[in-house]
Chain A
Amino acid sequence: MSRQRAGKFFRRLMLFSTVYLVAMATPQASAEALGAPKEQADVTVGCLYPMSGRAGVLGRDSVVGIRLALKYLEEQAAPDRARLRILLGDTKSKLSTATTLARRFIEDEGASFLCGVVNSSVAIEVTSIAESAGAFFIGTDHASSRLTDEFFHDRYFRVTNDTRQSMTAGALFIKDYFSDHLARKPLRISYLGPDYEYGYQVWADFREALERFGVNYEIAGALWPRLSEPDYSHYINELITEKPDLVVNSLWGGDFVAFVTQATETRLFETARFANFEKGGDYEIFAQLGENMPLGLLLASRHHNNWPETEFNQWFVEEFHREAGYYPSSGAQGAFTGIVAIAEAVKNAGANYKDPLAIEQAFEQLALTTPEDPTGFQSSMDPDSHQIQQVMAIGETVPDDRYPPAKVMLGNWHIYYPAELEPRRAETK
């Protein structure tokens, strides 16, 4: 055997070993079950969340959210309700792990529902698996609008806002908030988003909404730091150099914390207004940054602890705090809503709950009160896009120490109802 061939053989051997270990060992180590035991369960739901790394807090909060949902269902539902069995899998923020787990939940555990997924790229893979396996996929945290567009299928439903909704609200907000500036000259906008599907889609949806609302703007630049970027200094310097009027950012979780922490050491927040209409207003951000969280940032999230001031939202926030010992991030409410939505759809399907068509119809007709709904409003599923319709709230960071360790929360709210955001959705589809 030549030396070259021997080296090739050795490399193959190493690769096989690695692939085998990753494919076989990781998912089994991460699975956990809640709810009814396997033999008593009517419906099995496989939930996929990252529970480690920078996005880990979202997954861990989602698990608490699922526990609360089971408790809520226990209190609310009739005795003859369908019993749910929830399987939890740690995706470790890896596409390969997530897809392996998804297949395992469906094929080995008999799950008819998948839920969760934070990362939009991972969600695209998982939705393909769900489609090919005939399972339902209930999106609770990822937001790329391509999931309800290019990758749309009958059994995909999303119960939290997508990038199109949040960026449409962002565009409306800009049109209103910067009206004086826009009357004089175009708004120079720099964009910084994570370098993957979600970041691109936020930017695409945002520009599409700006153009739809006739907002006069210029692109000063677009930057794409990778997910879990350790050092944003070059990107921050680039943003300062571009001299925009507004920096639109779509980083989330630990990435957003790292970015803001590094940016507060520079003059970025002094030279430009700063907005994140997706997940920048997550409570975990405020909790981690504490007193270092700058004031006057324009942020939104998919759930707020201090808005709306409804009994349901207060119950959810306080119950979560009682359960976990800290206040929830938006992922918790997404997971909570996902499980409640599945239970509601199964209940609405009645005796046909094993029939996918009945479940699909029940989901398409779904109307649900969530902690995120203000008084007098109820979330409802759009039967065409399978995207839930909810109220969007955008605020500014203001001092507020009611939710320690956060010293800042959102205030000065701008509220957008689906009727303001949705009429043109059909045109764009």
Chain B
Amino acid sequence: MKSIIKHDSSTPPRLRTLQRNGLARRYLFSALLIALVPLGLLAIVYDTQYVRALDKVTESRTNARLSGAENLLRTFLQERIYELEGLADIPEVFEWLTTAQPGDTPDRVMLAQLRQQLDSPHIYGVVTKPARFDQPQWYLTQTLLEGVSWRTLPVTRFAGAELLGPALPTPDRPGWIILRLSPTGFDPAPEAWIGLVIRLASLTEQIQDLTLPGLQAPLIVPPQKVLLTSVGNLKPPGPGSKKDINSRAFIEGWHIRLQWLGDPLLGPLESARFGLIFLAMGVALGVIFLSRHLSKRLDRQVTPLIEGADRVASGDFDTPLGIEGTAEIGYLSFALERMRLRLKRLVKSMVDVERRAVLGQFSAGVAHEIRNPLATIKTTIQALSRKESDPKRQKLMESVDHEIDRVNDVVQLLLDYARPREAKAQKVNVLDVVETVKILADAVAHRHGVELVQVEHSQVFAWADPSQIRQIVMNLVMNAIQALEAIGGRVVIRVRQQGLAVYISVSDNGPGVSADHLSHLTEPFFTTKTNGTGLGLAICKQLAQANQGTLRFQSVPGEGLKVTLRLPLYLNNSNPE
């Protein structure tokens, strides 16, 4: 894919492209995918299930339930008609309805019959209208008639009877209906009839089972087109919903309405849906923010590593990478730093080997080409010197003889460095070695005004080649004395044992060595002395390594140099070889 990233001169295009496709960005997109896809799926499933549930609730069984409720309502009225028929058939009642004259009062037997009806919880009272009476006679103990004219109530025919009403409920009293029956059958204008004053709530409560709390409220719509609740109250008129369901007329002019109450329930559900969407957006924003934060943090931690790796790649093994970062990045930088140090050592040792190989060939050639002529020259000079009487020339020839010896020594050192002698380890009394060196060096030290001090220590044994150790210690002591040459000072030799190692340190209080020079001290031909060969410490390091030891240099410029030789401790089970 073609990169469209504009890159500046400080960042290589390849790196910018890599960063663009970096782990943090991938993590961001993955996280967004992981967070949003399930949320989206959840929202879709929720929506579809919700709609299905509503459909199921509102449609699947509604018709059957409505039909059942209509039947209950008709049955309730039919039961009352049956009671009314029984009442109208009583001879006293029949006689009263057909023959009573205005001003007559019903006899006790008839009143007892009427009172029987009032024991029913559904019946408020009984009303009779004898044929010759102008007004019906009410048998009611309740104050139900106030504000109602029975003549104005709507009339509905049902199963051979007539339904008057309902007289609608008011704040003072409940609603009621009259179910009336003519003993002679209904003519267009019945003259005699008997009716039951029925509790309206007893009729409306037949539809209570249609209630779905929070979803649907069943209502009865009477001929007045008002809405009656299942507890017989008037419901304030309000805008209908498309989801309202009207039943067929269970009796003429009366039907059931299932009023949809979705809104009160839907509101919280809609809120939940919006909440879900906001939650998804919040999660997405959170993931983006978190990813950017992680990405920047990752950049801060990885960039120094990349730069460090680049430095190592370009040959700079000395600059530390800087171990920073947490967890994986911390481990990575630690591993990279370790890699840098190992690479540094590897390269250095490879250079040493290379250098030594070259030097070996070179020094072997030089030794071959120089030593023979030198031997001839030395013999000649010595012969000439014996015959020379002029003291000045004699002195000059001695001097040439010394210089030939010195050249020979250098050649020997070169040969030693190029072809180091194998160490023959044995139990070495370190204090003996140090004391021997001290005795040998004391004279030189005294000559240069240097105080040579050996710090006392109990006996300690190392596992090393004694002559090589003596050579190293002697070299270190002589270097220290030479460092104090002309200025005087103090050289201290210390021996100590720690763990499984023996340490011999030689320190002086001379000018010391700068930090730059410190790491080059053991390189061959590196010297800070005017007449040094630069091979002494290189050979010492070589000898130390041959004896499984190390050399460590510590210096504070102006305060002196301390060189510490570490050797393996002699143990009883040390290899006797």
Inter-chain residue pair count (beta carbon < 8 A): 90
B564 to chain A, nearest CB (A): 85
A100 to B112, alpha carbons, bound, how many Å?
Answer: 8
Determine the residue in chain B with the shortest Cβ distance to A15.
Answer: B86
B90 interface residue (CB < 8 Å to A): yes
A190 to B233, alpha carbons, bound, how many Å?
Answer: 13
B87 to chain A, nearest CB (A): 8
A222 to B233, alpha carbons, bound, how many Å?
Answer: 8
Binds A, one of B166-174, B357-365, B440-448: B166-174
Instruction: Give chain B interface residues in 132-183, CB to chain A under 8 Å.
Output: 141-143, 169, 171-174
A195:B199 contact, CB within 8 angstroms? yes
A188 to chain B, nearest CB (A): 13
Residue among B89, B112, B172, B231 making CB contact with A235, cutoff 8 Å: B231
Determine the residue in chain B with the shortest Cβ distance to A100.
Answer: B112
Question: A15 with B118: in contact, given A224-B232, A226-B201 (CB under 8 Å)?
Answer: no
Residues of B in contact, count (CB < 8 Å)? 33
B20 interface residue (CB < 8 Å to A): no
A15:B90 contact, CB within 8 angstroms? yes
A200 interface residue (CB < 8 Å to B): yes
Question: A234 with B231: in contact, given A121-B142, A195-B174, A226-B199 (CB under 8 Å)?
Answer: yes
B115:A99 contact, CB within 8 angstroms? yes
A204:B172 contact, CB within 8 angstroms? yes
A8 interface residue (CB < 8 Å to B): yes
Residue among B141, B199, B232 making CB contact with A124, cutoff 8 Å: B141
B116:A200 contact, CB within 8 angstroms? no
Determine the residue in chain B with the shortest Cβ distance to A146.
Answer: B143
Chain B, 312-354, contact with A by CB distance < 8 Å: what is the 0/1 string? 0000000000000000000000000000000000000000000
A12:B119 contact, CB within 8 angstroms? no
Residue among B90, B119, B211, B233 making CB contact with A94, cutoff 8 Å: B119
Instruction: Give chain A interface residues in 199-254, CB to chain B under 8 Å.
Output: 200-201, 203-204, 219, 221-228, 234-235, 237-238
A302 to B118, alpha carbons, bound, how many Å?
Answer: 28
A46 to B533, alpha carbons, bound, how many Å?
Answer: 147
Residues of B with C-beta under 8 A to A227: 121
B116:A8 contact, CB within 8 angstroms? no
A19:B116 contact, CB within 8 angstroms? yes
Chain B, interface SS category: loop
B113 interface residue (CB < 8 Å to A): yes
Question: A234 with B208: in contact, given A121-B141, A124-B141, A146-B143 (CB under 8 Å)?
Answer: yes
B535 to chain A, nearest CB (A): 100
B320 to chain A, nearest CB (A): 71
A14 to B202, alpha carbons, bound, how many Å?
Answer: 26
A335 to chain B, nearest CB (A): 23
B89:A222 contact, CB within 8 angstroms? no
B86:A96 contact, CB within 8 angstroms? no
A95:B233 contact, CB within 8 angstroms? no
Question: A23 with B229: in contact, given A197-B141, A219-B171, A226-B202 (CB under 8 Å)?
Answer: no
Determine the residue in chain B with the shortest Cβ distance to A231.
Answer: B208
Chain A, 89-123, contact with B by CB distance < 8 Å: what is the 0/1 string? 00000111101100000000000000000000100
A234:B211 contact, CB within 8 angstroms? yes
Question: A238 with B229: in contact, given A12-B89, A226-B121, A228-B121 (CB under 8 Å)?
Answer: yes
Determine the residue in chain B with the shortest Cβ distance to A93.
Answer: B119
Chain B, 539-575, contact with A by CB distance < 8 Å: what is the 0/1 string? 0000000000000000000000000000000000000
A223 to B229, alpha carbons, bound, how many Å?
Answer: 11
A238:B172 contact, CB within 8 angstroms? no
A41 interface residue (CB < 8 Å to B): no
Residue among A94, A125, A226 making CB contact with B141, cutoff 8 Å: A125
A225 to B208, alpha carbons, bound, how many Å?
Answer: 13
B522 interface residue (CB < 8 Å to A): no
Chain A, 325-361, contact with B by CB distance < 8 Å: what is the 0/1 string? 0000000000000000000000000000000000000
B206 interface residue (CB < 8 Å to A): no
Residues of B with C-beta under 8 A to A16: 90
Question: A200 with B172: in contact, given A11-B89, A226-B201, A238-B229 (CB under 8 Å)?
Answer: yes
Question: A234 with B115: in contact, given A11-B85, A200-B172 (CB under 8 Å)?
Answer: no
A237:B119 contact, CB within 8 angstroms? no
B143:A237 contact, CB within 8 angstroms? no
A237:B116 contact, CB within 8 angstroms? no
Instruction: Give chain B interface residues in 67-89, CB to chain A under 8 Å.
Output: 85-87, 89
A22 interface residue (CB < 8 Å to B): yes
A94 to B118, alpha carbons, bound, how many Å?
Answer: 8
A367 to chain B, nearest CB (A): 32
B119:A96 contact, CB within 8 angstroms? yes
Residues of B with C-beta under 8 A to A15: 86-87, 89-90
Chain B, 241-262, contact with A by CB distance < 8 Å: what is the 0/1 string? 0000000000000000000000
A417 interface residue (CB < 8 Å to B): no
A219 to B202, alpha carbons, bound, how many Å?
Answer: 23
Chain B, 218-237, contact with A by CB distance < 8 Å: what is the 0/1 string? 00000000000111110000
A175 to B86, alpha carbons, bound, how many Å?
Answer: 52
A72 interface residue (CB < 8 Å to B): no
A97 to B172, alpha carbons, bound, how many Å?
Answer: 29
A237:B171 contact, CB within 8 angstroms? no
Determine the residue in chain B with the shortest Cβ distance to A9.
Answer: B89
A96:B112 contact, CB within 8 angstroms? yes
Residue among A8, A94, A125, A223 making CB contact with B89, cutoff 8 Å: A8
Chain A, 1-27, contact with B by CB distance < 8 Å: what is the 0/1 string? 000000010011011100100110000
A362 to chain B, nearest CB (A): 29
Residue among B89, B112, B143 making CB contact with A197, cutoff 8 Å: B143
Determine the residue in chain A with the shortest Cβ distance to B175.
Answer: A224
A16 to B213, alpha carbons, bound, how many Å?
Answer: 46
Q: A225-B201, A226-B201 are in contact. List 16 more A-B contacts (CB 8 A).
A: A8-B89, A11-B89, A12-B90, A16-B90, A95-B119, A96-B112, A100-B112, A195-B174, A195-B199, A196-B142, A200-B142, A219-B171, A223-B231, A225-B231, A226-B199, A226-B202
28 of the cross-chain contacts (CB-CB < 8 Å) are A8-B85, A15-B87, A16-B90, A19-B112, A19-B116, A94-B119, A95-B115, A96-B112, A96-B115, A96-B116, A96-B118, A96-B119, A97-B119, A124-B141, A195-B174, A195-B201, A201-B143, A222-B172, A223-B233, A224-B231, A224-B232, A225-B231, A226-B121, A226-B199, A227-B121, A228-B121, A234-B208, A235-B231
- Those 9 A-B pairs whose CB atoms lie nearest each other, nearest first: A224-B174, A96-B115, A121-B141, A124-B141, A15-B86, A94-B119, A12-B89, A226-B121, A95-B118
Q: What residues make up the interface of A, taking CB atoms closer than 8 Å to B? A: 8, 11-12, 14-16, 19, 22-23, 94-97, 99-100, 121, 124-125, 146, 195-197, 200-201, 203-204, 219, 221-228, 234-235, 237-238
